[in-house]
Amino acid sequence: MLDGIAPDRLKYFVYVQRRRARDTRDYMIQLIKGFHDVLPPETAKWRFVIETARENLVRCGFREIIIPVMEKTELFRRGIGEVTDIVEKEMYTFTDRSGESLSLRPEATAGILRAVVEHSLLRRDPVLKLFSIGPMFRRERPSKGRYRQFYQINAEVLGDDHPLTDADTIAAAYQIMADIGAKSVIMEINSVGCRSCRTAYREALRSYLAPHLPRLCADCRRRYDLNPLRVLDCKQEECREICATAPLIIDHLDASCREHFVQVQQALSALEVPYRVEPRLVRGLDYYTRTAFEIIHDELGRSKAVGGGGRYDSLLRELGGDDVSGIGFAIGIDRIAMGIDGGGSYEPHVDVYVAMLGDNAREQGIKLVHSIRRSGLSVETRYSPMSLKSQMKLADKLGCKKVVMLGEDELAKGEATVRNMETKEQFSVRIEDIIRYLQGEHS
């Protein structure tokens, strides 16, 4: 296209184009780092994941709760734990105009439990099953499958500490994954013990870590005093190496925690939920007691954990509620959607295209479009003048099975032409019979 242009003019042309591109880039307001847009057709996949999860959870007796994305910072400090990566480094916290410290939620359990206590929900339902779906915010280092705003499906069961409840909850999470069609999913499980097991374990861990203190990162040296369990989920290479041979919590469980864990495993086997015991699994939040688990999706490579959860037997009390136990899980929608096929099968289909030719046809056509839609079929059309050829091309691109052609002459006769896009057959149909005709053809 640029052949024959003098080199000077070509240079100038390139310069102008580059400047224009730079100006546009500078002028355009871009996404915040680590945040992402979910665009169609990806959104159709997300809807499929969310609907599958919702249907499964409702079948298991969970009811939906919607809570704010922002809470008082103190809720997360108390709930998640002061010495955790999430609270120390990853929360989006700010002081609002009244001087109060607020944070965007990094996880949902604390907020759900706050609502349970605030509205005394356990008084009505001593065993309460709730789920919630929405965005979470963590200022982590962004990478593929790791965002600063991500979406989770959260489920919580309160008021039942039987080991079968743990197995039932883990099985529900597994079933969601199975129904989504995720293959190679396995549940990694562990027991992190109760408070008293952990007190003994903490000391064993400190004795093990003590000679390695100079090699631990600065954060872990501080964690060593305040909360040595958190050293176990440090991401620094050297700390991980040291932790690889650290004593295991599973070897420090008291008799009742051990028995609880055995029963959970037996029930999971009976339910044929694939699992493996992962004795190093501790999870990054302080509130877990006894059963902890992660949902591993092997096809996802590095970001293979698509969900996780566990039992939290003292969290409700710590948030001002009664001494009621709980167990829950969170499944990350972003990662699940990444791990399932992106094919067009999630895309909504269009049944009918209405092609209108001429102003009269458009006036009549808009009414026809809406009545076909009211009958339950999906309809696409364009109101700005377009040639019939372009409209047929568009109908083809949208995958429409039928095209209703409305021209002035046909309208005068009270008719339209209906074209079957697969067989290429065309029929004249009276306007008042079109919906019946289309429905007959589509049923």
Beta carbon nearer to ligand AMP, 327 or 361: 327
State how beta strands 70-72 and 101-104 pair. antiparallel
Beta carbon nearer to ligand AMP, 159 or 284: 284
In what helix (H) or strand (E) does residue 370 lie, and over which residues does it extend? helix 359-374
Q: How far is the CB of 230 from ligand AMP (least distance, A)?
A: 14
Q: How far apart are CA 335 and CA 301, in angstroms?
A: 11
Q: Which of 132, 103, 187 is nearest to 333 (CA)?
A: 132
Q: How far is the CB of 135 from ligand AMP (least distance, A)?
A: 10
Q: Which residue is nearest to ligand AMP (CB)?
A: 332
Q: How far is the CB of 331 from ligand AMP (least distance, A)?
A: 6
Beta carbon nearer to ligand AMP, 104 or 411: 104
Beta carbon nearer to ligand AMP, 153 or 167: 153
Going by the DSSP 8-state scheme, the letter that residue 88 receives in this structure is I
Q: How far apart are CA 409 and CA 146, in angstroms?
A: 58
Q: How far apart are CA 273 and CA 172, in angstroms?
A: 10
Beta carbon nearer to ligand AMP, 20 or 144: 144
Beta carbon nearer to ligand AMP, 289 or 381: 289
Beta carbon nearer to ligand AMP, 292 or 403: 292
Q: How far is the CB of 140 from ligand AMP (least distance, A)?
A: 5
| Those residues with Cβ within 8 angstroms of residue 234's Cβ, 6 or more apart along the chain or in another chain | 216, 217, 219, 220, 223, 240, 243
Site residues, ligand AMP (CB under 6 A): 107, 138, 140, 145-147, 150, 152, 284, 305-308, 330, 332, 334-335
Going by the DSSP 8-state scheme, the letter that residue 87 receives in this structure is I
Q: How far is the CB of 272 from ligand AMP (least distance, A)?
A: 23
Q: How far is the CB of 26 from ligand AMP (least distance, A)?
A: 29
Residues 236-260, buried b or exposed e (16+ Cβ, 10 A)? eeebeebbeebebbbebbeeebbeb
Are 291 and 166 spatial neighbours (Cβ–Cβ below 8 Å)? Answer: yes
| Those residues with Cβ within 8 angstroms of residue 48's Cβ, 6 or more apart along the chain or in another chain | 180, 346
| Those residues with Cβ within 8 angstroms of residue 404's Cβ, 6 or more apart along the chain or in another chain | 352, 353, 354, 355, 368, 372, 416, 417, 418, 434, 438
Other Cβ atoms closer than 10 A to 23: 10
Are 392 and 365 spatial neighbours (Cβ–Cβ below 8 Å)? Answer: no
Beta carbon nearer to ligand AMP, 121 or 330: 330
Q: How far is the CB of 246 from ligand AMP (least distance, A)?
A: 21
Beta carbon nearer to ligand AMP, 139 or 221: 139
Q: How far is the CB of 120 from ligand AMP (least distance, A)?
A: 27
Q: How far apart are CA 83 and CA 224, in angstroms?
A: 10
Q: How far is the CB of 382 from ligand AMP (least distance, A)?
A: 38
Tell me the two tokens of residue 245: 């041979």
In what helix (H) or strand (E) does residue 404 lie, and over which residues does it extend? strand 402-406
Q: How far is the CB of 151 from ligand AMP (least distance, A)?
A: 8
Beta carbon nearer to ligand AMP, 294 or 351: 294
Question: In Å, how far are 19, 125, 379, 399 from 393, measured between CA atoms?
Answer: 37, 57, 15, 10
Tell me the two tokens of residue 410: 């046909």
Tell me the two tokens of residue 241: 């190496």
Beta carbon nearer to ligand AMP, 177 or 435: 177
Q: How far is the CB of 85 from ligand AMP (least distance, A)?
A: 10
What angle in degrees, to the nearest 10, is found between the helix axes of 255-270 and 163-180?
40
